[in-house]
Chains A and B, each alone.
Chain A
Amino acid sequence: MARSQERPGRRAAAALAALKSSAAAVLAAALAALPAAPAAASPDSGGGEGDTLTIAVSQPVDSLSPFLAQRLISTTIHRLAYDYLTNYDPETNETIPALAESWETTDEGRTWTFTIRDDVEWSDGRPLTAEDIAWTYTTMMEDEGAATANGNFVANFESATAVNDTTLRIELAEPQATMLALDIPIVPKHVWEDVEDFGAFNNDEDFPIVGSGPFVITDHRANQSITLEANDDYWREPPKFDRLVFRYMPEKDAQVEALRAGEVSFIAELTPAQADALRETENIAVNEATGKRFQAFTINPGARTQDGEEFGDGHPALTDRVLRQAIMRAIDKDEIVESVYGGYAEPAGGYIPARYENYHWEPDPDQALSFDVDAANEMLDDAGYETGDDGVRVSPDGDRLELRLHVHNDRPDYVAMGRLIDERLADIGIEIDNQTVDPGVLSDALYNGTYDLIFTGWSVNPDPDYVLGIHTCDALPVERGTMRTDAYFCDEEYDRLYEQQLANYDDPEGRAEQVRQMQEILYEEAVVNVLTYADTLEAYRTDQISDIQVQPDPGGNIWGQDGHWAWTSATPAQTQAASGPSVPAWALAGAGVLALVAVVGGVVLLRRRSATAEDRE
């Protein structure tokens, strides 16, 4: 009787037990993987033979097609897998020959003739000729899809033709000084001419991908990793590591931990706090580089279209240059460097960061709009901005100086700067309505002209043409909302200098002087106000990388170089093979599994015991 009743109970018990054991089984299976795993812990045993360099990256690849790729991670990979007409010197940032050995200009700078190296081969063994280069450029000129990423470089081209295998001729509509700064990866015509839709072809199906650079792309796992193998036949000195792996890790703190664990050899874009912490860590070197980027805010001088039609609701007093300059005098750049960047930045002078010595401009100490609250207050007093009863000034036209400040909520440094600016501008009787918002909201405000002060920042290339071009009158929107830049700036003298420097293809020194004069205008007008050049902070494991080239040298960066220098120069450290933690990991893992089994088993046993004991009572 009792027995027959027990059966269904047993079944239930068995079901529970099965559930329990299945959970245990999953856990055990997960843990059992451990012994197989020490391979995973050391980057050099990731796959195949030789030394592997693993780099953590924060972005997934958008496209492996050089015609489409826009993200820094993708263009970085293209710099490794393809060649360019010219390169930038790793030490000085100056233009040096690459595929083009030499060049000459005729027809007042409208015709450029490049002599192409004859010893370059694609990774499939076919020779790289002028025809490949001409085809790459022409495709971008003729096909809208192929122009997606880099169309701006060929916008002024009339034609690009291969006169013979080693001669490339480019005809321009207007002379341009940026002909030696064409950041266009050259693709093999014999592979790419079969592509039907350049706007949809992502170049990620046939591995290895045919290229001519120092590395060959051999594998891509979307949102996980990209693997490149060294091209031992590269025409420059071949890379020292045999393999590069870019691992996608979106979380910065997780990247730091992966570096500590030795799973990755290099991480970039550290915060000052992370850099300070890693500085203390054994076998890790922190590289503190002068920044390519500047951090700035722009003042709305009155949004308008190219035809002069005004729109938006910027504060009317901001059309007054005196007020804009006073705002700049009230802001303490040194304070920003210290409290926002912990000293890892430089207070800004001109628009072009100090690392580009040729083009950088510093204001004269006498005329500088440097930090001086008293001077700022005096300027405003003299210009008729009276202080109201509530301590906030009123413009001569009777408008209270309450200004909106738009801050990107995803940029901790901008948020901190915004708070400082709130305080400093209160010192000169300006009230700030701080709007820390989503970048989308912010760009809507910018394009509709519904802002007063707004943060911005650009990464500046060795050739500064583009960042200068966005402040010409031509960059104003054709109609409301179609803007492509970050300030409604328009100045005749600035435009005249811009045209001159762009056409100045044969006098680099003269061009640099023109660029410096343009920065002086920007500085005086105080519409585009550069605050700092933040340092680039990055770290690598010295027990895996013994030597690596920075750009410029000294003081330059490793990640985001204009060239492949860092990753071709990186040298494996001798000690790399002896990765310390892997052996103890084995032991620890085994101990962990045993402990877990013991605990689980113990609990189960105890429960059985206590259950029967109670039941017996």
Chain B
Amino acid sequence: MTAPPAAGATADAAPAPRAGGRRPGLPPTVRYLGGRVLTALVSLLAVMVTSFFLFRVLPGDPVTALTQGRAVTVEQLEAMRRDFGLDQPLPQQFLDYCLGMLTLDFGTSYQYRVPVSDLILERLGPTLLLAGTGTLIAAVLGLVLGTRAGWRRGSVMDRVDTGVALTLWSVPSFWLGLLLIVLLASGAGLFPTSGMSTPGVTGPLNVALDVAHHMVLPVATMVAVVYAQYMMIMRSSLVDEAGADYLTTARAKGLRDALVLRRHAVPNALLPTVTLIFLNLGRVVSGVILIETVFAWPGLGSLFYSGLRVPDLPIVQALFVVFAGSVILMNLLADLVYPLLDPRVRT
């Protein structure tokens, strides 16, 4: 989020250090990088503190929620409360929480009674696989279609492509997922209806094929719903470039239209899309909660959902920090990569 304004600001400020040289010890690049890293750390700290209080405001008591509808004695309830550390005063809980976070000890899940870090690691793979593949395909598809549409703005193809993309963008992923299941899985029998693997399948190749087969529908759902954002960004930034003088020059010197597009227009129009991709890479970790739920995909999104329902405080706190942290991290990376992509940001 901070990248675009930073680009302008740093570009404006660029002459100042050269002229004045206020801090001779710190080269501008280091100051730029240091500033970014510091901002990221402060954000992360704020997220950690927020996470603790945010979920304690949630209504409901984890112990009563976990024992809902079950025969339990008062002693059992007290023992659970003590076990979870919920009998401690709030400041003490906060202190324990902070110490835990700093040592990457996220505590033990109330409902599953295993360390939260184990749960997260276990679920990270499936989420990265699903959301990562989905984001990659969506980005590539969006870039290609967006370039096509932007270059021939107003053509029938542009209108059709844009119309289709925006229609899919506004379709609820939950509904589209179910529709695909009804049509292609239980209807035509082409794909499994849900899950990530078939129990009992062994051998690395078979397992890979099995997982890939299970992935088709969830990935297709995700791509269909999200590719529009890449396409629209790419399209509009290409339209912005379309009237630029350097393109006229390129054409004037006799370059073919396709070359003008590939060599001159696209590289310049790519910048905003790259920012978007980076921001979305951060969100890959938080997964696609609804799609994971419809397709019973064992990822972080469904873990978060199951944690929220209790509320299983250690799970939701840790995931909140991980989700926010990965967005912050990717933001930081985008800031760091920007100078490489755009000379104007270099100082």
A residues whose Cβ falls under 8 Å from a Cβ of B? 5-6, 8-9, 12-13, 16, 19-20, 22-23, 26-27, 29-34, 36-37, 39-41, 46-48, 52, 60, 62-63, 68, 70, 144-145, 147-149, 151-152, 155, 199-200, 202, 219, 221-225, 227, 245, 247-251, 253-254, 257-258, 260-261, 263, 438-441, 443-444, 447, 458-459, 466, 478, 482, 484, 581-582, 584-585, 588-589, 592, 611, 614-615
Contacts and interface: CB of A to CB of B under 8 A. Distances in A.
A12 B199 contact: no
Given A9-B259, A200-B113, A227-B200, A40 B60 contact: no
Given A47-B201, A227-B199, A466-B71, A251 B296 contact: yes
Contact of A224 (B190, B195, B257): B195
A30 B76 contact: no
B202 to A, nearest CB: 7
A600 to B, nearest CB: 12
Nearest to A155: B73
Nearest to B114: A202
A46 B67 contact: no
B112 interface: yes
B141 interface: yes
B178 A443 contact: no
A263 B141 CA distance: 32
Contacts of B194: 249, 251, 254, 258
A581 B187 CA distance: 10
B74 A202 contact: no
A258 B213 contact: no
Given A19-B140, A221-B199, A261 B263 contact: no
A47 B73 CA distance: 43
A62 B59 contact: no
B193 A254 contact: yes
Contact of A37 (B133, B200, B209, B303): B209
Contacts of A260: 186
Given A144-B79, A440-B311, A588 B66 contact: no
Interface string B257-271: 111001100110000
Given A9-B259, A221-B197, 14 more contacts: A9-B262, A16-B144, A26-B133, A32-B212, A37-B192, A47-B201, A52-B200, A202-B114, A221-B298, A248-B195, A443-B60, A443-B61, A585-B190, A588-B189
B112 A63 contact: yes
Contacts of B262: 9, 12-13, 16
Contact of A245 (B61, B199, B259, B311): B199
Contact of B198 (A6, A46, A582): A46
A447 B267 CA distance: 62
A183 B263 CA distance: 73
B338 interface: no
B192 A440 contact: no
A459 B140 contact: no
B10 interface: no
A199 B76 CA distance: 12
Contacts of A16: 144, 262, 266
B30 interface: no
B117 interface: no
B263 A8 contact: yes
Nearest to B112: A62
B60 A30 contact: no
Interface string B149-191: 0000000000000000000000000000010011001101111
Given A12-B267, A19-B144, A30-B215, A155 B75 contact: yes
Contact of B216 (A30, A219, A440, A588): A30
Contacts of A202: 112-114
B23 interface: no
A245 B200 CA distance: 10
Interface of B: 58-61, 64-67, 69-77, 79-80, 83, 108, 111-114, 122-123, 133, 136-137, 140-141, 143-144, 178, 181-182, 185-186, 188-202, 206, 208-210, 212-216, 219, 255-259, 262-263, 266-267, 293-296, 298, 302-303, 306, 311
A151 B210 contact: no
Contacts of A47: 198-202
Given A249-B195, A249-B296, A251-B293, A36 B209 contact: yes
Contacts of B191: 37
Contact of B67 (A70, A251, A261, A614): A70
A19 B270 CA distance: 14
A39 B80 contact: no
The 7 nearest A-B residue pairs measured at CB: A47-B200, A440-B60, A440-B59, A33-B213, A261-B186, A581-B189, A257-B186
B189 A41 contact: yes
B188 to A, nearest CB: 6
Nearest to A249: B296
B306 A34 contact: no
B60 A70 contact: no
Contact of A261 (B72, B114, B185, B219): B185
Contacts of A459: 69
Nearest to B108: A200
B140 A258 contact: no
A19 B219 CA distance: 17
A439 B258 CA distance: 59
Given A41-B189, A70-B66, A585-B189, A29 B212 contact: yes
Contacts of B208: 33
Contacts of A614: 257
Contacts of B212: 29-30, 32-33
Given A12-B267, A223-B298, A443-B60, A261 B189 contact: yes
Most buried by B among A9, A32, A439, A441: A9
A39 B201 contact: yes
A41 B214 CA distance: 11
13 contacts: A9-B263, A34-B190, A47-B202, A62-B113, A152-B73, A224-B199, A249-B194, A251-B194, A251-B296, A253-B178, A257-B181, A438-B60, A443-B64
Nearest to A29: B212
B189 A584 contact: yes
Nearest to B110: A62
Nearest to B61: A443
A46 B303 CA distance: 26
A500 to B, nearest CB: 20
Contacts of A251: 178, 194, 293-296
Contact of B69 (A33, A148, A149, A458): A458
B79 A26 contact: no
Nearest to B206: A36
A475 to B, nearest CB: 9
B234 to A, nearest CB: 12
A151 B75 CA distance: 9
Given A26-B136, A148-B79, A257-B182, A440 B65 contact: yes
Given A23-B140, A585-B190, A40 B258 contact: no
A444 B200 CA distance: 45
Nearest to A75: B70
